[in-house]
Amino acid sequence: MIDEEHFFEGAEKRLEVDFLETANNDKRGLLNIPRKKWEEFLATVNCLIVSESHTDSFHSYVLSESSLFVYPFKIMIKTCGVTTLLECLDLLIQYSQEVYLRVDFVTYSHKSFVNPHLQHPTYQTFDTEIQMLNHHFNGNGYTLGPMNGERWFVYVADMTGSPSTKEEAEQTIEIMMTDLDRKAMSMFYKNDEDTADISAQSGITAILPHSLIDDMMFEPCGYSMNGLHRTDGTSPQRYYSTIHITPEPGFSYVSYETNLPVDSYDDIIRRVLHIFKPGHFIISVFADAEALCGESNKSYDCKLPGYTRTIANTCEFVGRRSVTCSHYSSIHADTSRENQLRAQ
Amino acid sequence: MIDEEHFFEGAEKRLEVDFLETANNDKRGLLNIPRKKWEEFLATVNCLIVSESHTDSFHSYVLSESSLFVYPFKIMIKTCGVTTLLECLDLLIQYSQEVYLRVDFVTYSHKSFVNPHLQHPTYQTFDTEIQMLNHHFNGNGYTLGPMNGERWFVYVADMTGSPSTKEEAEQTIEIMMTDLDRKAMSMFYKNDEDTADISAQSGITAILPHSLIDDMMFEPCGYSMNGLHRTDGTSPQRYYSTIHITPEPGFSYVSYETNLPVDSYDDIIRRVLHIFKPGHFIISVFADAEALCGESNKSYDCKLPGYTRTIANTCEFVGRRSVTCSHYSSIHADTSRENQLRAQ
């Protein structure tokens, strides 16, 4: 049993909201909102900005608990621990109206928590989270994965029902890893090395090329990274990746996410698994109908060496996008890894 | 509001169990079990045999609440109302052992009930149903569809984990319809006509050709049918279909199911919708990896004239089979049909 006092819930609550213009504005949309206002917004969630990076296309904030990315017509925020992510909704809607935007598509998701009873009341069941979201939007919640096991919750509200008029179809992969390799995690405890070395030494900088890395080690352990990416050496940085690491044995958790448009996630998944060596993980892929990766359930080769896929669930939001959530276990996870933990 | 005293839960609990031989027996497997033993088995569920038909390949029983089909190595039973379907598990396992079979693959499913609180305690939540199933098997439960709306629950236990050695890949479609057309339902109230006329007049006999029909009208209303089918005019009857109709306005419900192997369900779906004209329906398709219909989410053209598909969920039991559950609403359902009901 893990001492609840020392427990940390690594799994993030994740909110992504797409907006549409209501007037022909300057195309900067949410980028017009100053940092001071994001700080007020983040105060409702109980977290702080610890680092920021900007490109012409988007703003990236590393937070005290995870990350915020702001695009002209989209926001993606994920926050871990016992943050109160949905408390930001009032301000988010207010801010978006101030820059002449209206809500188009909302997704809110998280992996099942290890200790839901340690969360604030709204976040102890997905039903209460759905209720809170439906104070603002008109959507539905889904459970992907077994009701009696580790699972992934996703809420979706399609507020316009119209196929997107976006210039580019979007796609996002999230890899949510648990029961991580002790040796791989040992690197993410604070010591005298600087974090630049860690991102290079760990292999994190090599996951995606053409990257700017904004990363942070936490005391006494833990690591966050926002990457800013382009599809080749010359195009502008328009895509993000983000990694969050809770290295402690007993509740180790690492998440990897990127919205880089690739035709297959095979290489990304291979590199991520090679670095972190999880015992178990969930991969979720969101893909617009016209995304480069194809249908979300065909976006990578589901046969991953050393792992068995136990279940795959797809939810299709007809005409807009689909999400597929697949569960994997190391073929060694139930023997060597658990023995390793017991031997501590 | 519907008077709870007159309410009837049309949605069936459905159990399908596939078995493997443990000894080289006479290939008749469960067909060796006499009717008297099935009557004892059905007593645990609280229903009775009201009609039976046999072919060389399987036995078909129309029940006081829905249907039972027995194949040499498979049983499918669905029971509606407040029947206690899972109470049959002890006897089912005992009977199967007596004929030298062991459990291979179990699925248990039902649409969300209109009035779960009127069910026996085990059936009031899917969690308690999963617990009861896991006294006998080792499986997981899934929710397909919105947590805050009409949805479909499915439990799956793969007890051998081995790809099937069956002679023929299997596939099953279920169409679960609610808010049905009043005129279409008027035919399923008992009057002086005999049921042979009703199955022909309604169009039910024309859904699948090459059929034997075993059907039954109930007092004062309601209809059940078991069909025994072959793929052409000369091959033996090896496949079933079954229809159950609760015609009362306010809680009307019709289910259609068949395991006939077709390469596309387009014709079957079109004929079923033409007869019953539901306001809303769910289609679930189970398909083995090698089924004739292809992947469960590609087994029919999902664009159905007059209906919008709101959500589709797929659950893939890796290497064995997949199930897709799609939700449809009539484009008129929220206006004309509800007004029609309010005008009663």
- String of DSSP letters for A326-338: EEEEETTIIIIIH
8 A C-beta contact, residue B151 and residue B143 = yes
d(CA B287, CA A41): 48
Arithmetic mean of pLDDT, B209-232:
92
- Of A140, A309, A311, Cβ closest to residue B315: A311
Residues of A with CB under 8 A from a CB of B: 126-127, 130, 134, 140-143, 145-149, 297, 302, 308-318
Q: What is the dihedral of CA A88, A89, A91, A92, to 10 degrees?
A: 100
For the entire predicted model, the pTM comes to 0.91
Other C-beta atoms closer than 10 Å to the C-beta of B82 total 16
Q: What's the rounded mean pLDDT across residues B33-51?
A: 97
B23's CB contacts (< 8 A; 6+ apart) are B100
Instruction: Please give the helix or strand (H or E) that residue B77 lies within, else none.
Output: strand B74-79
Report pLDDT digits (tens) over B303-315.
999 999 989 999 9
Q: Quick one: closest CA in B to A140, which residue? A: B146
> Which residues in chain B have Cβ-Cβ distances shorter than 8 Å to A308?
318
Q: How far is B286 from chain A (nearest CA, A)?
A: 14
* Element containing residue A268 per DSSP (H, E): helix A266-276
CA pair distance B19, B34, nearest whole angstrom? 18
pLDDT for A5 beyond 70: yes
The verdict on residue B6 lying in a domain is no
* Most distant CA pair in chain A, distance: 63
The pLDDT value recorded for residue B22 is 86
Cβ count near B63 (within 10 Å)? 25
In B, what residues contact A, Cβ < 8 A?
Answer: 126-127, 130, 134, 140-143, 145-149, 297, 302, 308-318
Answer whether residue A4 is part of any domain: no
Tell me, yes or no, whether A110 lies in a domain: yes
The predicted pLDDT at position A265 comes to 97
Contact criterion met (CB < 8 Å) for B314 and A318: no
pLDDT, residue B190, reads: 85
Query: What is the average pLDDT score of chain B?
Result: 91
C-beta atoms of B141 and A147 within 8 A: yes
Residues of A in contact with B318 (CB under 8 A): 302, 308-312
Chain B's closest residue to A326, CA to CA, is B316
Q: Name the residue facing A318 among B127, B143, B312 (closest C-beta).
A: B312
pLDDT in tens, A281-310: 999 999 998 999 999 999 999 999 999 998
What are the pLDDT digits (tens) for B235-255? 889 999 999 999 999 999 999
Check pLDDT > 60 for residue B342.
Answer: no
Q: Is B80 a catalytic residue?
A: yes
| Mean pLDDT for the stretch of residues A109-119 | 97
- What is the Cα A53 distance to its own chain's centre? 18
Catalytic pick from B202, B211, B224, B252? B224
**Bridge-partner residues for A224, per DSSP?**
A216, A244
Out of A130, A134, A312, whose CB is closest to B316? A312
Residue carrying structure tokens 């096991």: A149
Buried b (16+ CB within 10 A) or exposed e, A68-85: bbbbbbbbbbbbbbbbbb
Please give the residue of chain B at the shortest CA–CA distance from A131: B148
pLDDT exceeds 80 at position B269: yes
Task: Tell me whether residue B4 is in a domain.
Answer: no
pLDDT of residue B212: 92
Looking at residue A195, what is its pLDDT?
59
- Choose the closest CB to A148 out of B130, B149, B313: B130
Q: Are A130 and B145 in contact (CB < 8 Å)?
A: no
pLDDT computed for residue B320 by the predictor: 85
Among candidate residues A104, A98, A66, the one with its CA nearest the CA of residue A85 = A66
Share of residues in chain A with pLDDT > 90 (%): 80
Please say whether the beta carbons of A41 and A91 come within 8 A. Answer: yes
Residue B68 lies in a domain: yes
* pLDDT tens digits along B74-98: 999 999 999 999 999 999 999 999 9
Please give the pLDDT value at position A193.
Answer: 61
Cα A120 from Cα A136, distance rounded (Å): 19
Q: Do the domain assignments include residue A1?
A: no
| pLDDT: which is higher, B344 or A28 | A28
Tokens 């909302």 — which residue?
Answer: A106
pLDDT of residue A2: 60
Residues forming a β-bridge with B156: B107, B140
Residues of A in contact with B317 (CB under 8 A): 311
Chain A positions in Cβ-Cβ contact with residue B316 (cut-off 8 Å): 297, 311-314
Give chain A's radius of gyration (CA, Å): 19
Q: What is the pLDDT of residue A157?
A: 95
Among A126, A148, A312, the residue with its CB nearest the CB of B147 is: A126
Residue of B188 and B333 predicted with greater confidence: B188
Q: Does residue A197 lie within any of the structural domains?
A: yes
Please state the domain count of chain A.
1
Name the nearest CA neighbour of A181 among A20, A330, A28: A330
Per-residue confidence (pLDDT) for residue B194, from 0 to 100: 61
Of chain B, the percentage scoring pLDDT greater than 70 comes to 92
B23 near B115, Cβ under 8 Å?
no
Whole domain around residue A131: which residue ranges? 13-342
pLDDT in tens, A119-141: 999 999 999 999 999 999 999 99
Reply yes or no on whether B66 is catalytic: yes
Rounded CA-CA distance A111/A13 in Å is: 8
**Mean pLDDT computed over A208-222:** 91
Tens digit of each residue's pLDDT (9 = 90 or more) over B115-133: 999 999 999 999 999 999 9
B209 dihedral zone (left: phi>0; alpha: psi -120 to 50; beta): beta
Catalytic residue among A244, A257, A284, A299: A244
Residue A327 annotated as catalytic: no
Which residue of chain B is at minimal alpha-carbon distance from A138?
B148
Q: Do A140 and B149 touch (CB under 8 A)?
A: yes
Cis amide prior to A305 (ω within 30 degrees): no
Angle A34-A36-A39 (CA atoms, 0-180°, nearest 5)?
115
DSSP state of B208: S
CATH assignment of the domain containing B117? 3.60.90.10
Measured between alpha carbons, how far is residue B245 from residues A148, B65, B85, B239, B254 in Å? 33, 11, 19, 21, 4
Considering CB atoms only, which of B142, B146, B309 is closest to A146? B142
- B232 vs A155 pLDDT, higher one: A155
State the Cα–Cα distance between residues A126 and A152, nearest whole angstrom. 10
pLDDT at B143 over 80: yes
CB atoms B316 and A314 under 8 Å: yes
Residue with tokens 């690591």: A223
Mean pLDDT of chain A: 91
> Is A8 within the bounds of a domain?
no
For chain A, what percent of residues have pLDDT higher than 70? 92
